[in-house]
Amino acid sequence: MKRLTDRVVLITGAASGIGAALAVECARGGADTVLLDRRVGPLRDVTRTVRALKRRALGVRCDVSRDADVPRGVAVARRQFGHIDIVIADAGFEVTGQVSELTLDDFRRQFETNVFGVLRTVYATLDDLKQSRGSLVLVGSMLGSLALPGTAAYAMSKFAVRALAETLRFELGEAGVSVTLVTPGNVTTNIRRTDNHGELHLALKDPIPVITVGHIRGRREPGRT
């Protein structure tokens, strides 16, 4: 974690789950953070938590499914910190259901966040990462290699993220930018309490027993997102 000292880390999907846990761990490692998420209240809470660790944190409302939001958030980060060293594209949600039950709009909605949201993040930060010879981290899933019944939309999106990461690893290597794909299993997040429209329902019980996000420190596979 010493390599994070005084680095600036930008994280999408930072208001909860893996993104929030990574924000805290990066701060503990000495990094300043730019936290992007569309949920203002939880984002404010995570930002306060990071600042309590005596590191600078900037929370910016951002919906990665909108073309203008990520560049705007990155522009704010540049003005505040002057550079970006590490980008973690974590924002995502899960559309569930058998193919026969889903519509094309369900698949489009899934890809707008999980695939095009990642691409928007890459495009918005690429010049910064080349300048800093930094690191790009794409959060995939174990379902980016294994598709199961009822997971078609989500698995397709994570297969696409894996393909993107493998391609970028070659394309950005000469520019000195490292590319890492994280392929989590199940952890405690709100993803299974989120409906097919990306709306959170906290009253829903998580149907899958999982390890906790608090256990990700030092693990290479922090959890499903």
Q: Is the dihedral angle over the CA atoms 7, 11, 15, 20 positive or is it negative?
A: negative
Active site residue 154: yes
Task: Kindly name the residue from 81, 93, 111, 154 that is annotated as catalytic.
Answer: 154
For residue 178, count CB atoms less than 10 angstroms from its CB and return exposed for 0-12, middle for 13-18, buried for 19 or more. middle
- Cβ contact 61:43 at 8 Å: yes
- Cβ contact 154:96 at 8 Å: yes
- Cβ contact 223:17 at 8 Å: yes
Q: Is the dihedral angle over the CA atoms 76, 82, 83, 88 positive or is it negative?
A: negative
Q: What is the largest CA-CA distance in the chain?
A: 51
- Cβ contact 62:36 at 8 Å: yes
Q: Please tell me the distance from the alpha carbon of residue 207 to that of residue 221, in angstroms, as a whole number.
A: 21
Q: Annotated active-site positions, please? A: 154
